[in-house]
Amino acid sequence: MSNLYRFGIAVDRELVDEFDIVAEESGYANRSEAIRDIMRNFVIEKKTQQKGMDVVGSFTMIYNHRKRISDKLTEYQHKHNEEIISTLHIHLTEECCLEILALRGKSENIKKIADSLLAQKGVMNGKLVLTAI
């Protein structure tokens, strides 16, 4: 009890309203509980990505291959073939790709790879999932 710390924050009202709705739908008792939980997850996630950690995980991205980025992505991935174990490519539609990279290495290298891929024009979405081993 004595360990609790109380502080105030200012958030866009629209965001607060939306947050309250999805938090309730997700089974949280109240806003505070939900915020505590996402703060905790944020800390865990960022700690996993700290420099020097040995991590494994995946990077999931969606991209439009019509933008002719396959060559660039392939070339980039080959430069990092020590960290990228293999890549699973799903041909969703004639234009749209789901590409999932299986990754292993030092967290800072893995993060750099994910950031570089995300920065490519045409990559519409990208999410890194890491676990320390």
Q: Does 53 bind a copy of itself (CB under 8 A)?
A: no
Q: Does 118 bind a copy of itself (CB under 8 A)?
A: no
Instruction: Kindly tell me which residue out of 29, 52, 81, 119 binds a copy of itself, with binding defined by CB under 8 A.
Output: 81
How far CA 56 is from CA of 7, 15, 19, 48, 115, in Å, comes to 36, 33, 31, 10, 16
Q: Does 19 bind a copy of itself (CB under 8 A)?
A: yes
Q: How far is the CB of 98 from a copy of itself (least distance, A)?
A: 5
Q: Does 6 bind a copy of itself (CB under 8 A)?
A: yes
Distance CA 125, CA 133 (A): 26
Q: Does 75 bind a copy of itself (CB under 8 A)?
A: yes
Q: Does 54 bind a copy of itself (CB under 8 A)?
A: no
Nearest 5°: phi and psi at 59?
-125, 120
Angle between helices 70-79 and 107-119 in degrees, nearest 10: 170
